[in-house]
Structure 1
Amino acid sequence: MKFAVVVFPGSNCDVDMFHAIQDELGEEAVFVPHSEYDLSSFDAILLPGGFSYGDYLRSGAIARFAPIMKAVQEAADEGKPVLGVCNGFQILLESGLLPGAMKQNRDVKFMCRNVKLRVENNKTMFTNQYESGESIVIPIAHGDGNYECDDTTWEEMIKNNQIVFRYDGHNPNGSKDDIAGIMNKRGNVLGMMPHPERAVDSLLGSKDGIRLFQSILILWRENHVVTS
Protein backbone atom coordinates (compact mmCIF):
# COMPACT_ATOMS: atom_id res chain seq x y z
CA MET A 1 0.00 0.00 0.00
CA LYS A 2 1.31 3.43 -0.93
CA PHE A 3 0.77 6.44 1.36
CA ALA A 4 1.20 10.09 0.40
CA VAL A 5 2.49 12.32 3.20
CA VAL A 6 1.56 15.82 2.08
CA VAL A 7 4.07 18.49 3.10
CA PHE A 8 3.07 22.15 3.40
CA PRO A 9 5.38 25.06 4.26
CA GLY A 10 5.41 24.84 8.06
CA SER A 11 4.57 21.14 8.38
CA ASN A 12 6.63 19.65 11.22
CA CYS A 13 5.07 16.22 11.81
CA ASP A 14 5.65 14.90 8.30
CA VAL A 15 8.75 12.93 9.34
CA ASP A 16 6.82 11.37 12.25
CA MET A 17 4.08 10.32 9.82
CA PHE A 18 6.62 8.94 7.36
CA HIS A 19 8.27 6.92 10.14
CA ALA A 20 4.95 5.50 11.31
CA ILE A 21 4.15 4.20 7.82
CA GLN A 22 7.57 3.21 6.50
CA ASP A 23 9.27 1.88 9.63
CA GLU A 24 6.44 0.75 11.91
CA LEU A 25 3.67 -0.26 9.51
CA GLY A 26 6.10 -1.52 6.89
CA GLU A 27 4.40 0.11 3.92
CA GLU A 28 5.56 2.64 1.34
CA ALA A 29 5.42 6.33 2.26
CA VAL A 30 6.31 9.24 -0.03
CA PHE A 31 6.64 12.92 0.81
CA VAL A 32 4.47 14.95 -1.59
CA PRO A 33 4.94 18.75 -1.69
CA HIS A 34 2.03 21.16 -1.50
CA SER A 35 2.75 22.32 -5.05
CA GLU A 36 1.85 18.98 -6.66
CA TYR A 37 -1.43 18.45 -8.52
CA ASP A 38 -1.70 14.65 -8.76
CA LEU A 39 -2.24 12.01 -6.07
CA SER A 40 -3.69 9.34 -8.35
CA SER A 41 -0.81 6.90 -7.77
CA PHE A 42 -1.43 6.76 -4.01
CA ASP A 43 -3.77 4.52 -2.04
CA ALA A 44 -4.10 6.77 1.02
CA ILE A 45 -3.48 10.44 1.75
CA LEU A 46 -2.04 11.76 5.02
CA LEU A 47 -2.08 15.43 6.06
CA PRO A 48 0.36 15.82 8.98
CA GLY A 49 0.48 18.32 11.78
CA GLY A 50 2.47 21.52 12.09
CA PHE A 51 1.85 25.16 11.28
CA SER A 52 1.04 25.30 7.57
CA TYR A 53 1.98 28.69 6.17
CA GLY A 54 2.71 29.75 9.75
CA ASP A 55 -0.99 29.72 10.67
CA TYR A 56 -0.75 33.46 10.03
CA LEU A 57 -4.37 33.93 9.01
CA ARG A 58 -6.06 31.01 10.77
CA SER A 59 -4.95 27.42 11.30
CA GLY A 60 -5.25 25.66 7.93
CA ALA A 61 -6.92 28.61 6.21
CA ILE A 62 -4.13 29.31 3.72
CA ALA A 63 -3.24 25.66 3.11
CA ARG A 64 -6.73 25.01 1.75
CA PHE A 65 -5.73 26.99 -1.36
CA ALA A 66 -2.55 24.99 -2.04
CA PRO A 67 -2.50 23.21 -5.43
CA ILE A 68 -2.38 19.78 -3.74
CA MET A 69 -5.79 20.28 -2.10
CA LYS A 70 -7.64 19.79 -5.39
CA ALA A 71 -6.00 16.38 -5.61
CA VAL A 72 -6.88 15.65 -1.97
CA GLN A 73 -10.51 16.46 -2.77
CA GLU A 74 -10.39 14.15 -5.79
CA ALA A 75 -8.91 11.33 -3.70
CA ALA A 76 -11.66 11.78 -1.12
CA ASP A 77 -14.30 11.73 -3.85
CA GLU A 78 -12.84 8.44 -5.11
CA GLY A 79 -13.27 6.91 -1.67
CA LYS A 80 -9.58 6.73 -0.78
CA PRO A 81 -8.71 7.08 2.91
CA VAL A 82 -7.75 10.63 3.82
CA LEU A 83 -6.38 11.29 7.31
CA GLY A 84 -5.71 14.76 8.71
CA VAL A 85 -3.93 15.01 12.06
CA CYS A 86 -3.81 18.21 14.13
CA ASN A 87 -3.04 20.92 11.54
CA GLY A 88 -4.12 18.38 8.92
CA PHE A 89 -7.50 18.20 10.66
CA GLN A 90 -7.70 22.00 10.63
CA ILE A 91 -6.96 21.99 6.89
CA LEU A 92 -9.74 19.46 6.26
CA LEU A 93 -12.17 21.70 8.16
CA GLU A 94 -11.11 24.83 6.30
CA SER A 95 -11.40 23.06 2.94
CA GLY A 96 -14.91 21.79 3.69
CA LEU A 97 -13.96 18.11 3.60
CA LEU A 98 -15.18 17.88 7.20
CA PRO A 99 -17.84 19.92 9.01
CA GLY A 100 -17.23 22.43 11.78
CA ALA A 101 -14.37 24.74 12.73
CA MET A 102 -11.46 24.96 15.13
CA LYS A 103 -11.03 27.61 17.83
CA GLN A 104 -8.24 28.45 20.23
CA ASN A 105 -7.90 26.17 23.23
CA ARG A 106 -10.19 27.03 26.12
CA ASP A 107 -7.27 28.01 28.39
CA VAL A 108 -5.53 29.94 25.56
CA LYS A 109 -2.41 27.80 25.96
CA PHE A 110 -0.48 25.43 23.74
CA MET A 111 -0.78 21.89 25.10
CA CYS A 112 1.63 18.97 24.60
CA ARG A 113 0.87 15.84 26.61
CA ASN A 114 -0.56 12.35 26.47
CA VAL A 115 -4.34 12.17 26.69
CA LYS A 116 -6.89 9.39 26.88
CA LEU A 117 -9.29 8.93 23.99
CA ARG A 118 -12.42 6.81 23.83
CA VAL A 119 -13.10 4.95 20.59
CA GLU A 120 -16.70 5.87 19.81
CA ASN A 121 -16.97 4.17 16.43
CA ASN A 122 -14.85 1.13 15.63
CA LYS A 123 -16.75 0.30 12.45
CA THR A 124 -14.63 2.52 10.21
CA MET A 125 -11.66 2.06 7.88
CA PHE A 126 -9.56 3.87 10.51
CA THR A 127 -10.67 2.09 13.69
CA ASN A 128 -11.55 -1.51 12.88
CA GLN A 129 -8.63 -2.78 14.99
CA TYR A 130 -9.96 -1.13 18.16
CA GLU A 131 -12.76 -2.20 20.47
CA SER A 132 -15.87 -0.07 20.76
CA GLY A 133 -15.56 2.13 23.85
CA GLU A 134 -11.87 1.27 24.26
CA SER A 135 -9.71 3.84 26.05
CA ILE A 136 -6.42 4.55 24.29
CA VAL A 137 -3.48 6.86 24.97
CA ILE A 138 -2.45 9.29 22.21
CA PRO A 139 -0.44 12.54 22.55
CA ILE A 140 -1.73 16.00 21.67
CA ALA A 141 0.29 19.08 20.66
CA HIS A 142 -1.85 22.05 19.69
CA GLY A 143 -2.97 25.56 20.51
CA ASP A 144 -6.11 25.59 18.36
CA GLY A 145 -7.84 22.31 19.13
CA ASN A 146 -11.18 23.53 20.43
CA TYR A 147 -13.60 21.92 17.94
CA GLU A 148 -16.91 23.70 17.38
CA CYS A 149 -19.97 23.23 15.18
CA ASP A 150 -23.59 24.31 15.29
CA ASP A 151 -26.18 22.09 16.95
CA THR A 152 -27.70 20.96 13.67
CA THR A 153 -24.32 19.72 12.42
CA TRP A 154 -23.62 18.06 15.77
CA GLU A 155 -26.97 16.26 15.77
CA GLU A 156 -26.36 15.06 12.22
CA MET A 157 -22.93 13.72 13.16
CA ILE A 158 -24.45 11.88 16.12
CA LYS A 159 -27.10 10.37 13.85
CA ASN A 160 -24.52 9.25 11.27
CA ASN A 161 -21.94 7.97 13.79
CA GLN A 162 -19.39 10.47 12.51
CA ILE A 163 -17.83 11.13 15.92
CA VAL A 164 -14.94 8.65 15.95
CA PHE A 165 -12.96 9.72 19.04
CA ARG A 166 -13.82 11.63 22.21
CA TYR A 167 -11.53 12.74 25.00
CA ASP A 168 -11.93 10.21 27.80
CA GLY A 169 -12.25 11.68 31.27
CA HIS A 170 -10.65 15.08 30.68
CA ASN A 171 -11.29 17.48 27.83
CA PRO A 172 -7.98 19.36 27.39
CA ASN A 173 -9.12 22.08 25.00
CA GLY A 174 -12.85 22.68 25.52
CA SER A 175 -14.02 21.06 22.29
CA LYS A 176 -17.76 20.55 21.85
CA ASP A 177 -19.04 17.26 23.28
CA ASP A 178 -15.42 16.23 24.07
CA ILE A 179 -14.85 15.62 20.35
CA ALA A 180 -11.31 14.60 19.42
CA GLY A 181 -11.88 13.15 15.95
CA ILE A 182 -14.63 13.08 13.32
CA MET A 183 -15.16 11.63 9.86
CA ASN A 184 -17.25 12.53 6.84
CA LYS A 185 -20.56 10.82 6.07
CA ARG A 186 -18.96 8.46 3.59
CA GLY A 187 -16.48 7.36 6.23
CA ASN A 188 -13.24 7.78 4.27
CA VAL A 189 -12.06 11.16 5.59
CA LEU A 190 -10.95 11.36 9.23
CA GLY A 191 -9.71 14.40 11.10
CA MET A 192 -8.33 14.21 14.63
CA MET A 193 -6.34 16.53 16.87
CA PRO A 194 -4.30 13.86 18.76
CA HIS A 195 -1.25 12.40 16.99
CA PRO A 196 -1.47 8.63 16.36
CA GLU A 197 1.83 8.74 14.45
CA ARG A 198 3.53 9.65 17.73
CA ALA A 199 2.10 6.58 19.48
CA VAL A 200 3.45 3.73 17.37
CA ASP A 201 6.20 2.38 19.65
CA SER A 202 6.30 1.62 23.36
CA LEU A 203 9.45 3.76 23.60
CA LEU A 204 7.20 6.74 22.87
CA GLY A 205 4.92 5.89 25.80
CA SER A 206 2.12 4.23 23.80
CA LYS A 207 1.61 1.91 20.83
CA ASP A 208 -2.11 2.65 20.59
CA GLY A 209 -1.71 4.77 17.47
CA ILE A 210 -0.31 2.04 15.24
CA ARG A 211 -3.66 0.26 15.15
CA LEU A 212 -5.19 3.20 13.33
CA PHE A 213 -2.75 2.73 10.46
CA GLN A 214 -3.16 -1.04 10.65
CA SER A 215 -6.91 -0.55 10.30
CA ILE A 216 -6.41 1.33 7.03
CA LEU A 217 -4.00 -1.30 5.72
CA ILE A 218 -6.08 -4.35 6.68
CA LEU A 219 -9.23 -3.02 5.05
CA TRP A 220 -7.29 -1.98 1.93
CA ARG A 221 -5.83 -5.49 1.62
CA GLU A 222 -9.25 -7.04 2.01
CA ASN A 223 -10.51 -4.90 -0.86
CA HIS A 224 -7.50 -5.62 -3.07
CA VAL A 225 -7.23 -9.38 -2.84
CA VAL A 226 -6.03 -10.82 -6.13
CA THR A 227 -8.06 -13.87 -7.12
CA SER A 228 -6.97 -16.36 -9.74
Structure 2
Amino acid sequence: MSAVELGGGPITVGRASPEHAPDVELGPDPQRWVGRLHCTLDFADGMWSVTDNASVNGTLLRHGDVTERLQGRKRIQHGDTLLILGDMTPKGEPLYWELTFLDPHTTRPAPFGPPTDVRHTGPGLRYDWVAARAYRVENGVETLIDGLRPQGHQLLRYMAGRGNDGAAVACDHASLITALWGPREEWAPHRSYTRADLAGVVRAVRRCIEVDPSHPRILETVTGIGYRLNVSRPPT
Protein backbone atom coordinates (compact mmCIF):
# COMPACT_ATOMS: atom_id res chain seq x y z
CA MET A 1 0.00 0.00 0.00
CA SER A 2 1.30 3.47 -0.87
CA ALA A 3 0.00 7.03 -0.65
CA VAL A 4 0.20 9.95 -3.06
CA GLU A 5 -0.36 13.50 -1.84
CA LEU A 6 -2.50 15.41 -4.32
CA GLY A 7 -1.50 18.95 -5.20
CA GLY A 8 -3.66 21.29 -7.19
CA GLY A 9 -4.16 18.94 -10.13
CA PRO A 10 -4.56 17.74 -12.72
CA ILE A 11 -3.29 14.36 -11.54
CA THR A 12 -2.91 11.66 -14.20
CA VAL A 13 -3.30 7.95 -13.49
CA GLY A 14 -2.09 5.27 -15.88
CA ARG A 15 0.61 3.04 -17.26
CA ALA A 16 4.11 4.33 -17.89
CA SER A 17 5.51 4.21 -21.42
CA PRO A 18 8.75 5.49 -22.99
CA GLU A 19 6.99 8.73 -23.97
CA HIS A 20 4.80 9.23 -20.91
CA ALA A 21 5.06 9.02 -17.14
CA PRO A 22 1.75 9.51 -15.27
CA ASP A 23 1.62 11.15 -11.85
CA VAL A 24 0.25 7.89 -10.41
CA GLU A 25 1.79 4.89 -12.14
CA LEU A 26 -0.01 1.54 -12.01
CA GLY A 27 2.38 -1.25 -12.78
CA PRO A 28 3.78 -3.58 -13.70
CA ASP A 29 1.19 -4.08 -16.42
CA PRO A 30 2.59 -6.48 -19.05
CA GLN A 31 -0.86 -7.18 -20.53
CA ARG A 32 -1.62 -3.44 -20.91
CA TRP A 33 -4.95 -3.58 -19.07
CA VAL A 34 -4.25 -0.04 -17.80
CA GLY A 35 -4.28 2.85 -20.26
CA ARG A 36 -1.29 5.16 -20.60
CA LEU A 37 -3.58 8.05 -19.59
CA HIS A 38 -6.30 6.01 -17.94
CA CYS A 39 -8.06 8.69 -15.87
CA THR A 40 -7.45 12.18 -14.55
CA LEU A 41 -8.24 13.87 -11.24
CA ASP A 42 -8.93 17.61 -11.29
CA PHE A 43 -9.46 20.20 -8.56
CA ALA A 44 -11.84 23.10 -9.20
CA ASP A 45 -14.25 25.19 -7.12
CA GLY A 46 -13.07 23.54 -3.92
CA MET A 47 -13.74 19.95 -4.95
CA TRP A 48 -12.04 17.05 -6.72
CA SER A 49 -13.46 15.29 -9.78
CA VAL A 50 -12.33 12.29 -11.82
CA THR A 51 -12.66 11.67 -15.56
CA ASP A 52 -12.06 8.43 -17.43
CA ASN A 53 -10.03 9.24 -20.53
CA ALA A 54 -11.86 6.86 -22.89
CA SER A 55 -9.78 3.99 -21.50
CA VAL A 56 -10.18 0.58 -23.09
CA ASN A 57 -11.10 -1.24 -19.87
CA GLY A 58 -12.90 1.60 -18.12
CA THR A 59 -12.77 2.96 -14.58
CA LEU A 60 -15.12 1.95 -11.78
CA LEU A 61 -16.14 4.32 -8.99
CA ARG A 62 -17.18 2.87 -5.62
CA HIS A 63 -19.21 5.28 -3.49
CA GLY A 64 -20.46 3.70 -0.28
CA ASP A 65 -22.16 0.41 -1.19
CA VAL A 66 -22.61 1.33 -4.85
CA THR A 67 -20.04 0.58 -7.54
CA GLU A 68 -20.63 1.87 -11.06
CA ARG A 69 -18.73 2.40 -14.26
CA LEU A 70 -17.42 5.95 -14.52
CA GLN A 71 -18.97 7.83 -17.42
CA GLY A 72 -18.08 11.45 -18.02
CA ARG A 73 -16.79 13.57 -15.17
CA LYS A 74 -17.77 12.74 -11.58
CA ARG A 75 -17.13 14.49 -8.31
CA ILE A 76 -15.39 12.35 -5.71
CA GLN A 77 -15.41 12.71 -1.97
CA HIS A 78 -13.75 11.27 1.10
CA GLY A 79 -13.79 7.47 1.09
CA ASP A 80 -14.61 7.00 -2.61
CA THR A 81 -12.51 4.35 -4.37
CA LEU A 82 -11.45 4.10 -8.00
CA LEU A 83 -11.18 0.53 -9.32
CA ILE A 84 -8.98 -0.04 -12.38
CA LEU A 85 -8.60 -3.48 -13.90
CA GLY A 86 -4.97 -4.55 -13.57
CA ASP A 87 -5.10 -8.25 -14.41
CA MET A 88 -7.37 -11.23 -14.75
CA THR A 89 -6.90 -14.80 -13.57
CA PRO A 90 -7.04 -17.67 -16.10
CA LYS A 91 -10.58 -18.31 -14.82
CA GLY A 92 -11.63 -14.75 -15.62
CA GLU A 93 -11.61 -13.35 -12.09
CA PRO A 94 -10.84 -9.60 -12.21
CA LEU A 95 -7.96 -8.17 -10.18
CA TYR A 96 -8.33 -4.43 -9.56
CA TRP A 97 -6.07 -1.61 -8.55
CA GLU A 98 -7.88 0.25 -5.74
CA LEU A 99 -7.24 3.97 -5.31
CA THR A 100 -9.08 5.39 -2.30
CA PHE A 101 -9.55 9.15 -2.12
CA LEU A 102 -9.07 10.62 1.36
CA ASP A 103 -10.29 14.17 1.89
CA PRO A 104 -12.03 14.77 5.24
CA HIS A 105 -13.08 18.26 4.16
CA THR A 106 -15.39 16.90 1.48
CA THR A 107 -18.79 16.19 2.99
CA ARG A 108 -21.49 16.66 0.36
CA PRO A 109 -22.71 13.58 -1.56
CA ALA A 110 -21.58 13.10 -5.14
CA PRO A 111 -24.24 14.09 -7.69
CA PHE A 112 -25.23 10.82 -9.32
CA GLY A 113 -27.78 11.27 -12.08
CA PRO A 114 -30.92 9.15 -12.50
CA PRO A 115 -30.52 5.94 -14.47
CA THR A 116 -31.75 5.86 -18.03
CA ASP A 117 -34.29 3.31 -19.21
CA VAL A 118 -33.07 2.47 -22.70
CA ARG A 119 -33.50 -1.12 -23.86
CA HIS A 120 -32.28 -3.23 -26.73
CA THR A 121 -35.19 -5.36 -27.95
CA GLY A 122 -33.26 -8.14 -29.71
CA PRO A 123 -30.67 -10.54 -28.31
CA GLY A 124 -27.81 -8.67 -26.74
CA LEU A 125 -24.99 -8.76 -24.27
CA ARG A 126 -24.79 -7.21 -20.83
CA TYR A 127 -21.36 -6.75 -19.32
CA ASP A 128 -21.03 -6.52 -15.53
CA TRP A 129 -18.05 -4.18 -15.13
CA VAL A 130 -17.60 -4.88 -11.43
CA ALA A 131 -17.58 -8.68 -11.53
CA ALA A 132 -16.15 -8.92 -15.09
CA ARG A 133 -19.02 -11.19 -16.13
CA ALA A 134 -20.84 -11.27 -19.45
CA TYR A 135 -24.50 -12.25 -19.89
CA ARG A 136 -26.51 -13.09 -22.96
CA VAL A 137 -29.88 -11.35 -22.76
CA GLU A 138 -32.86 -12.48 -24.83
CA ASN A 139 -36.60 -12.15 -24.18
CA GLY A 140 -35.91 -10.82 -20.70
CA VAL A 141 -33.80 -13.84 -19.73
CA GLU A 142 -30.14 -13.51 -18.74
CA THR A 143 -27.67 -16.37 -19.24
CA LEU A 144 -24.19 -16.23 -17.76
CA ILE A 145 -21.53 -16.71 -20.43
CA ASP A 146 -18.75 -19.17 -19.61
CA GLY A 147 -15.46 -19.80 -21.30
CA LEU A 148 -14.41 -16.26 -22.21
CA ARG A 149 -10.66 -15.82 -22.20
CA PRO A 150 -9.04 -12.59 -20.96
CA GLN A 151 -8.65 -11.22 -24.49
CA GLY A 152 -12.32 -11.91 -25.14
CA HIS A 153 -13.20 -9.95 -22.03
CA GLN A 154 -11.04 -7.09 -23.25
CA LEU A 155 -12.84 -7.01 -26.62
CA LEU A 156 -16.28 -6.98 -24.99
CA ARG A 157 -15.30 -4.39 -22.37
CA TYR A 158 -14.00 -2.08 -25.06
CA MET A 159 -17.06 -2.39 -27.29
CA ALA A 160 -19.64 -2.33 -24.48
CA GLY A 161 -17.98 0.75 -23.03
CA ARG A 162 -18.42 2.74 -26.21
CA GLY A 163 -22.20 2.83 -26.36
CA ASN A 164 -25.26 3.61 -24.33
CA ASP A 165 -27.22 0.80 -22.67
CA GLY A 166 -29.44 -1.01 -25.11
CA ALA A 167 -27.62 0.29 -28.20
CA ALA A 168 -25.65 -1.29 -31.02
CA VAL A 169 -21.96 -0.36 -30.82
CA ALA A 170 -19.95 -0.43 -34.05
CA CYS A 171 -16.14 -0.31 -33.93
CA ASP A 172 -13.71 -0.32 -36.83
CA HIS A 173 -10.91 -2.83 -37.27
CA ALA A 174 -8.13 -0.40 -36.41
CA SER A 175 -9.62 0.71 -33.10
CA LEU A 176 -10.25 -2.90 -32.05
CA ILE A 177 -6.71 -3.96 -32.92
CA THR A 178 -5.37 -1.08 -30.81
CA ALA A 179 -7.71 -1.99 -27.95
CA LEU A 180 -6.44 -5.57 -27.89
CA TRP A 181 -2.74 -5.17 -28.61
CA GLY A 182 -1.98 -1.53 -27.87
CA PRO A 183 -0.71 1.16 -30.25
CA ARG A 184 1.62 0.08 -33.04
CA GLU A 185 4.64 1.75 -31.45
CA GLU A 186 4.33 -0.56 -28.44
CA TRP A 187 4.34 -3.79 -30.44
CA ALA A 188 7.31 -6.07 -30.14
CA PRO A 189 9.93 -5.75 -32.90
CA HIS A 190 9.01 -7.65 -36.07
CA ARG A 191 5.49 -8.27 -34.73
CA SER A 192 2.35 -6.92 -36.30
CA TYR A 193 -1.37 -7.54 -35.72
CA THR A 194 -3.88 -7.69 -38.54
CA ARG A 195 -7.58 -8.18 -39.19
CA ALA A 196 -6.87 -11.92 -39.23
CA ASP A 197 -5.66 -11.76 -35.61
CA LEU A 198 -8.74 -9.75 -34.68
CA ALA A 199 -11.02 -12.21 -36.48
CA GLY A 200 -9.53 -15.03 -34.40
CA VAL A 201 -10.48 -13.27 -31.18
CA VAL A 202 -13.96 -12.52 -32.53
CA ARG A 203 -14.50 -16.19 -33.46
CA ALA A 204 -13.51 -17.30 -29.96
CA VAL A 205 -15.92 -14.78 -28.41
CA ARG A 206 -18.76 -15.82 -30.70
CA ARG A 207 -18.33 -19.45 -29.68
CA CYS A 208 -19.11 -18.34 -26.14
CA ILE A 209 -21.83 -15.73 -26.58
CA GLU A 210 -23.81 -16.81 -29.65
CA VAL A 211 -26.43 -19.57 -29.83
CA ASP A 212 -25.30 -20.18 -33.41
CA PRO A 213 -21.77 -18.75 -33.93
CA SER A 214 -22.10 -19.22 -37.71
CA HIS A 215 -25.04 -16.77 -37.70
CA PRO A 216 -24.09 -14.20 -35.02
CA ARG A 217 -26.80 -11.94 -33.67
CA ILE A 218 -24.89 -10.29 -30.80
CA LEU A 219 -21.40 -9.70 -32.18
CA GLU A 220 -22.10 -8.95 -35.83
CA THR A 221 -19.81 -8.23 -38.77
CA VAL A 222 -20.04 -4.81 -40.42
CA THR A 223 -18.65 -5.53 -43.86
CA GLY A 224 -15.60 -3.48 -44.76
CA ILE A 225 -15.66 -1.60 -41.44
CA GLY A 226 -15.42 -3.84 -38.37
CA TYR A 227 -17.84 -5.35 -35.88
CA ARG A 228 -21.03 -4.37 -34.08
CA LEU A 229 -21.99 -5.44 -30.56
CA ASN A 230 -25.64 -5.40 -29.51
CA VAL A 231 -25.71 -4.28 -25.88
CA SER A 232 -28.56 -4.89 -23.43
CA ARG A 233 -29.43 -3.72 -19.95
CA PRO A 234 -30.41 -6.21 -17.27
CA PRO A 235 -34.12 -7.02 -17.04
CA THR A 236 -36.07 -5.18 -14.31
TM-score by length of 1: 0.30
TM-score by length of 2: 0.29
Structure richer in strand, relative to its length: 2
Task: Tell me which of the two structures has the higher relative contact order, counting C-alpha pairs closer than 8 angstroms and 6 or more residues apart.
Answer: 1
Task: Flag the structure with larger Rg.
Answer: 2
Structure richer in helix, relative to its length: 1
